[in-house]
Structure 1
Amino acid sequence: MTAPEDQMGPDRDTEAALWCLALAEEDFDAARDAALDQWLADDGNAAALRRQLALWDHNDALAALPQMLQLRSQALEDFRSRNERRWAPAKRWRLSRPWQALAASLLLIAGSTAIFLLQGSDVEYFSTALGERKTIGLEDGTTLTLDADSAVEERFSQDRRNLVVVRGRAKFDVAKDSLRPFAVTAGTETVVATGTSFSVEKLGTTVDVVLYEGKVTIVRAARNEHFETLQPGQSLALPSSGPLHVAAIEPARASAWTMGQLDFSGEPIAGAVARVNRYAEKPVVLDPSVPGALRVTGVFDAGDTSAFAEGVAAVNGMTVRVESDRLVLTAA
């Protein structure tokens, strides 16, 4: 016996389209978070969601068309009106005819890129010099804070808010806008957020994400991996190879750099030096004799490179060799 059409389960791409819309909602609660984790446990589902996110990511010009903006607005309003019934904990995923129509609308918006001629979003470039920090108000109401020697590209459209951390570190206090998903990319890692506060940093071959408020989802498309969701007060290190590392942080200490201080708590020496050198006219250089496993703890004024080098040397029995253009830390 065949189940009635209204009770038939959706295909993976339809479910993925609905999850894309759910992730764009401002109030992605714990029940939906658990449901998403369960759904993504299936490799086929995870692949379908990656496909839909990729379609959405290349959809800026199409979504800017008035008829498409209207279609997506109607779809989101339909999503909201059915939200309470849709996420009832005791129910399994079932799509009624209206839900099937909603999913079809989303797939149309995502998939029609093959029909319309797409044009790239305007690009704005924000950067800071050595020793300079900058706070920028973006057109959507988001506040961007750039660390020293950092750069971010902004690619906003009427439908999406995409940014790229080119180098250094940036903090994002995101303005809520359910119709315009907010995504930050650094290297091959993408952070998707709505209405939240977080930072993204390129540090060598590692991308570090720190979440201060709200929720973010990390998409590791290049490595074909599961999504990682952070909670406030957590940081996530995403190396180019090897395991991920989630750690608890104190938000006030983790954001100290925005106030001109560098606060290290067991920081690997190479990472600490890289952060200090964003403010250094005369950079710190590690002599090969310095063990890579050495860790740094302490609070330093950004730009006081000599105090950092001398402090690390004093605590670890090392010496500082002052040269014309650099400070060399050497193991005694």
Structure 2
Amino acid sequence: MPRRQSRRRRHEEAADWVLRQSRGPLSSAEEAALQAWLADPDNRRSYESARQLFGAAGQAIASDPDLRAFEAKPAKPAGLKVAVVAAALAIGIGSFFWADGPMRLRADLIAGIDEMPRVTLGDGSVVQLNAGSAIAVDFDLGQRSVHLMRGQAYFEVAPDRDRPFSVTAGTTTVVALGTAFDVRLGQADIAVTVTEHSVLLDLGEDRTTQLNEGQQGRYQIAGAQLTVEDSDHHRALAWRDGKLVLDDTPIDEIITEIDKRMSGKIFVTGASLDERRLSGTIDITDPVAALSFIEQALDARTLQIGPMIIMRLD
């Protein structure tokens, strides 16, 4: 197993142990298993990192004035102790996930909500992440593999005949053929846009397709269907300049892009999202202004509750 894969597995196991401990005392068998696992120094280091991250997440939640001001209804005296323990457990686990704890333990590079970092990898290849995106990197003597765990990334691949370069997103693997390309992992689909040379799409089950410069492949996850079409890469890569170019774009896709750049969460209620589409160009470097634009364009109403924004479409 490559070194980075082994490290991520340790991180995942460490997070699991910390979460199990947060739910209450371990059984004798579990405690023995934990101690045996901690006998490995690398495991112990991952465990300590997970504990620190868990604690830091709780502090982050406590520092948020909106969340800190939240008041729970008093519990009945008989259930007070149980309620306090349950609340503490919920806050601990919830804050761990709120602070993106699991992803931070697994990924090698994570972009913040207001970041689009451009990073040079160990082989000289360059990757730029869209806001909120995350990748894990596995390079060894025989291969160069990147796992797009969330979001979107643009790759400029350094040539290396002896080590193929591939990017895995969901069930799809993109194999570079000396190229530059963009990969977006969405909830419903995976989109690959080629800006230089070509790539090979491996969809599994012996299904492969070559995409050439100027083409975009869009793989629908639910139906396992691939659509290939000519693409305007300036539009597809507008996110790199902080722009979102819309062409009869479904509102749920627009909200997803804005949501990546906000510290809270946007929820949309009311009319079917499939019926609402927009065209135009939005500056997504200012997510509040972008959301205001959508609110006016769709005659929607919004309500903010702490870190949550609820948008209602009539």
* CA apart distance, 1:143: 0.5
Pair 310,290 (structure 1): closer, same or farther in 2 beyond 3 Å: farther
Matched, 1:321 2:303: yes
Greater relative contact order (Cα < 8 A, sep 6+): 1
Residue of structure 1 equivalent to 2:199? 216
CA distance in 2 between partners of 1:276 and 1:235 (Å): 23
Residue of structure 2 equivalent to 1:7? none
Residue of structure 1 equivalent to 2:207? 226
Of 134, 146, 150, 1:151 maps to 134
Counterpart amino acid of residue 316 in structure 1: L
Q: Conserved in 2, the CA contact under 8 Å of 1:144 and 1:171?
A: yes
CA distance in 1 between partners of 2:151 and 2:286 (Å): 19
Secondary structure in 1 matching 2:274:
coil
* CA apart distance, 1:284: 2.9
Counterpart amino acid of residue 253 in structure 1: R
Pair 304,141 (structure 1): closer, same or farther in 2 beyond 3 Å: same
Counterpart amino acid of residue 243 in structure 2: Q
Q: Conserved in 2, the CA contact under 8 Å of 1:287 and 1:329?
A: yes
Of 287, 294, 302, 1:312 maps to 294
Residue of structure 2 equivalent to 1:117? none
Secondary structure in 1 matching 2:115:
coil
Pair 191,314 (structure 1): closer, same or farther in 2 beyond 3 Å: same
* CA apart distance, 1:330: 1.9
* CA apart distance, 1:207: 1.5
Residue of structure 2 equivalent to 1:133? 116
Q: For structure 1, which runs of at least 5 residues remain unmatched after alignment?
A: 1-57, 62-122
Secondary structure in 2 matching 1:306:
helix
* CA apart distance, 1:322: 3.8
Q: Conserved in 2, the CA contact under 8 Å of 1:284 and 1:309?
A: no
* CA apart distance, 1:237: 1.7
CA distance in 1 between partners of 2:281 and 2:273 (Å): 21
Matched, 1:270 2:291: no
Q: For structure 2, which runs of at least 5 residues remain unmatched after alignment?
A: 4-105
Counterpart amino acid of residue 315 in structure 1: A
Q: How many residues align?
A: 211
Of 148, 172, 193, 1:165 maps to 148
Secondary structure in 2 matching 1:176:
coil
Matches within 5 A, 1:66-145: 125-145=108-128
> How well do the aligned residues superpose, as a CA RMSD in angstroms?
2.3
Residue of structure 2 equivalent to 1:254? 236
Q: Conserved in 2, the CA contact under 8 Å of 1:212 and 1:232?
A: yes
Q: Provide the TM-score with structure 2 as the length reference.
A: 0.61
Pair 302,315 (structure 1): closer, same or farther in 2 beyond 3 Å: closer
Of 148, 151, 160, 1:177 maps to 160
Q: Conserved in 1, the CA contact under 8 Å of 2:189 and 2:221?
A: yes
Residue of structure 2 equivalent to 1:280? 262
* CA apart distance, 1:139: 1.8
Of 160, 163, 177, 1:194 maps to 177
Q: Conserved in 2, the CA contact under 8 Å of 1:238 and 1:245?
A: yes
Identical aligned residues as a percent: 26
Q: Conserved in 2, the CA contact under 8 Å of 1:178 and 1:194?
A: no
Pair 320,249 (structure 1): closer, same or farther in 2 beyond 3 Å: farther
Residue of structure 1 equivalent to 2:313? 331
Of 299, 302, 308, 2:284 maps to 302
* CA apart distance, 1:287: 0.9
Residue of structure 2 equivalent to 1:289? 271
Secondary structure in 1 matching 2:273:
coil
Q: Provide the TM-score with structure 1 as the length reference.
A: 0.58
* CA apart distance, 1:181: 0.8
CA distance in 2 between partners of 1:125 and 1:274 (Å): 23
Deviations, residues 150-185 of structure 1 (Å, cap 9, x unaligned) = 111111112211110011111101111222111100
Q: Conserved in 2, the CA contact under 8 Å of 1:262 and 1:276?
A: no
Secondary structure in 1 matching 2:181:
strand
Counterpart amino acid of residue 234 in structure 1: Q
CA distance in 2 between partners of 1:248 and 1:267 (Å): 17
